[in-house]
Chain A
Amino acid sequence: MIDADSVMSPKYATGYEVRDSAGVRLVDVDGGFHFALVNDDDITVPDSYTKVKVPIKNTICMTSLQLSNFTILNAHDVVKGLTGTKNLFNEDILQRVKDGRIVKIGMEGNFDTEMVLAANPDVIFISPSKRGGYDAIKETDITLVPHLGYQELDPLGQAEWIKFVGMFIGKEKEANEVFSGIESRYLNLKSHTSNIKPEDRPTVLSGEMHYGNWHAVGGKNYLAQIFRDAGAEYIINDEETAGEDLEFEKMYSLAANADYWRILNSYPGEFSYEALKASEPRNELFKAFKEKRVIYCNMKQTPYYEISPVEPDLLLKDFVAIFHPELVEAEYEPKYYKLLK
C-alpha cells in the first residue's frame, strides 16, 4: 500500500491533482486524463481511471522538459527512449544514447513504432500537441501520460511537475525534497525583490524579430512571471499567456525605451551586438541595444531546455544579478543568462 503520508498535492502546479482513495493514488491530469497508481496489479481501481503499476521501470520522454524532471531525480535509468538529442548536453544521456540504452523514437507526428515497442515502456510521457502521431502508439496498449509542465505559467508550478514524475517512478520523497529546495531558494530571492518600488524596477523586452514579425510572449507567460519575480517589469502587461506576433512598429513603440532586452537563441558561434544588428538593422534603435543591455543565453553553448525547467531558482537569480546586482553575492557566476558584452 502507498502510505498516506506521502500524498503530494501540488501547491503551484495547476495541471494535475492528486488524492488518495482507499489505498489507491488517484491522479487527475487536465484534459480529462485519470490515472490510478497502484503497487499491486490486483487492486481494483475506480472506473474511468487507467491503472498504472508503480514504480514504473521503463519510460519514454517526449520533451526535454520532461527529461529535466528525470535528470534532477537521478533517474536516467528509467528513461529508455527520447525523441531526439538535438541541443542536448547531458553527458550521461548522450552516453546512454550512444551505447543503445536509450533509443531515439523519432519526432512527434512520425514516431518509429518499432523503436517505441523495442524500448518496452510501461508508460510514455507525452506532451500533447496538434501534430499527433500518437494513434499508432495507442494501438500498442502502452499507457500515455500527458505531462503538462509546459503549460504552467508559474515557474514553480512548472518545476513542481518533478513531483508528478516522482510518483510514477517511486521517488516521491526525493521529489519532495528537491522541490522544496527549489521552492525555498526561489521564494527567498523573490522576498528580496518583492518590495522594490515600481520606479526602481527596470523594464524588459524579450525576443527577436523574424521575417517581419516579432513573437512577443504574453504578460501572463512563465517568462513574464520570472521578470516580475526578479524585480523587473515586462513591457507587455496583458492577459495573454502564449504570446502573439507583433509588427515591428508595434513592438518598437512598446519597447523602444525598455532598459533590458532578453534574447535566447542558438546562434552558431559568439553572439554579439554586431550579429544582432546584422539580423535586423532596426534592432539598433532600441535603447537596450544602444546601452548594451542585452541579456543573452545561447542554447548552443548552455544546456537550457533540458535542465532550466527544474532550476527556476537559478534562472531567477541570473535575472536578479542583472536587474539588482546588490541583492546577489558579488562572486555569483550566472548559469543561463549574462549581459551581452
Chain B
Amino acid sequence: MKVSKFIVLIVAICVMTIVNLLIGSVKIPVTDICSILTGDDSHEIWTNIIWKSRLPQALTAIVAGAGLAVSGLQMQTVFRNPLAGPSVLGISNGSALGVAFVVLLSGRIGGVALSRLGYLGDAAMSVAAIIGALAVMLLIVWISQKVKGNVTLLIIGVMIGYLANAIIGVLKFLSPEEDVKAFVVWGLGSFSRVSGDEMVLFVVLMCILLPLAFLLVKPMNMLLLGDRYAANLGLNVKQARMLVIISSGVLVAIVTAYCGPIMFIGLAVPHLTRAIFRTSDHRLLMPATALCGAALALVCNLIARMPGFEGALPVNSVTALVGAPVIAYVLFRRRRSVEE
C-alpha cells in the first residue's frame, strides 16, 4: 500500500519532469525535443533552451521543492505546531535581509567592494542570502540552548523575523526605485535563476543535505512524543532539537539563496503528505514529503511557465494559488473520511 504510493509519486515526478521539458514559452515540437535529448544539436537555439534553461529549471524545482518540504516538516515536528514552516524562525527573513543589504545598500556602505558584489548579480545574492540565513539560524540555535520551552523559542524566532523585516523596510525606504524593484523581484521567488555551474552546485549541495536530514528521523519520531517522553527514551532533547533546527535552517538557507524566498511549499507539503500517507512516522514521512515537495514544485513551475503567462507569474503566487486549494481539498476529504 505505502510502497505503491511511493511508486506513484516517483512516476508523477518523472512525468512532470518530462512535461516541464516539453512545455515552455517557446514552442518546440516534441519530436525535436526527443532528438535533442538524444544528443542531436543541429538546432542550436532549441538545444540551448532545453539543456541550459528547461532542464536546469526542472532540476532546481525538484531539489528546491524537496528541500523546502523537508525543512517544513522538521520545523513542524520540532515545534509540534502545524503552522510552523521554514519561514517561522526568521530564517528566510534573514536571507532576505542579506540580499537587501547587497541590493539596496550597494555603493553606499563599503563603497566599491560591496557594490561590486551587488552587481555581480545572482551569485552575490546567493552568498548574501546564505550569510543572512545562517546568521539568523546560528542566533536561533544559540537561543535554543538558553531557553527551555518550544513556544518561547518560536516567539523569539518570529520576533527576529519582524526585526529583519523592519530593517529591510528602512533600507527599502531609503533606496532608489530601481533598487527596490530589483529587491521585490528577488522576493517573488523563481526556479529559473539558477543555471550553469551554479545549478550543478545547488543540486549537489541539496543531494548531500537531504540525506543528512533523513538521518534525523529517529530523534524526530521521539520528539513527536513530547520532550519528557523523549528524554525518558534516552534522547538528549536539547541536542536533538538543535540538530533538527540546523538541518532545517541550512536547507532553507540554500534554497532561498538560489531561488529566492519561496513560500507555502514548506508549510503545506507536510500536511499534504500526512493526509496522503496517513502516518506520522518520520521514517515514511520524510522521504514521502521530499517527493511530494518535488512533485508540487514541478507542477507549480509548469503552471508559471504555461504559454500565455510567459514568466509573468511569479512562482510564489503559483505555489499558493495552486497549492492552497489542492491541500485544503485533501485535508477536507481526509477529515470527512475520518468522521464517517
Pick from A210, A245, A253, A282: contact of B311, CB below 8 A: A245
Tell me the complex Cα distance, A253–B310, Å.
Answer: 13
Nearest CB on B from A132, distance (A)? 13
Pick from B107, B185, B198: contact of A213, CB below 8 A: B185
In the complex with contacts A244-B312, A253-B45, A278-B123, A211-B182 CB distance below 8 A: yes
Number of interface residues of A (CB under 8 A): 33
Tell me, yes or no, whether A280 is within 8 Å of chain B by CB.
Answer: yes
In the complex with contacts A210-B185, A247-B311, A249-B54, A281-B195 CB distance below 8 A: yes
Nearest CB on A from B178, distance (A)? 9
Tell me, yes or no, whether A314 is within 8 Å of chain B by CB.
Answer: no
In the complex with contacts A246-B311, A280-B122, A285-B48 CB distance below 8 A: yes
In the complex with contacts A213-B190, A279-B122, A281-B198, A250-B45 CB distance below 8 A: no
Tell me, yes or no, whether A32 is within 8 Å of chain B by CB.
Answer: no
- The answer to whether B121 touches A210, judged by C-beta atoms less than 8 angstroms apart, is yes
Binds A, one of B65-73, B111-119, B147-155: B111-119
CB contacts (< 8 Å) of B142 on chain A: these are none
Interface residue ranges of A240-270 to B (CB < 8 Å): 244-250, 252-253, 256-257, 265-269
Interface residue ranges of B89-139 to A (CB < 8 Å): 106-107, 112, 115-116, 118-123, 125
Pick from B48, B116, B119, B176: contact of A252, CB below 8 A: B48
B186-204 near A? 1/0 per residue, CB < 8 Å: 1000111101111000000
- The answer to whether A268 touches B107, judged by C-beta atoms less than 8 angstroms apart, is yes
A201-214 near B? 1/0 per residue, CB < 8 Å: 00000000011110
- The answer to whether B24 touches A249, judged by C-beta atoms less than 8 angstroms apart, is yes
- The answer to whether B192 touches A248, judged by C-beta atoms less than 8 angstroms apart, is yes
In the complex with contacts A211-B122, A269-B116, A278-B121, A249-B26 CB distance below 8 A: yes
Tell me the complex Cα distance, A107–B174, Å.
Answer: 9
Nearest CB on A from B73, distance (A)? 27
A residues within 8 Å of B by Cβ? 84, 86, 107-108, 110, 131, 210-213, 244-250, 252-253, 256-257, 265-269, 275, 278-282, 285
In the assembled complex, 24 residue pairs joining A and B whose CB atoms fall closer than 8 Å, in A order, are: A110-B173, A131-B177, A210-B121, A211-B122, A211-B186, A211-B260, A212-B190, A246-B311, A247-B24, A247-B53, A249-B25, A249-B49, A250-B25, A250-B311, A253-B46, A257-B45, A267-B119, A268-B106, A280-B195, A281-B196, A281-B198, A282-B48, A282-B195, A282-B196
Rank and list the top 3 A-B pairs by shortest CB-CB distance, nearest first. A281-B196, A247-B311, A279-B121
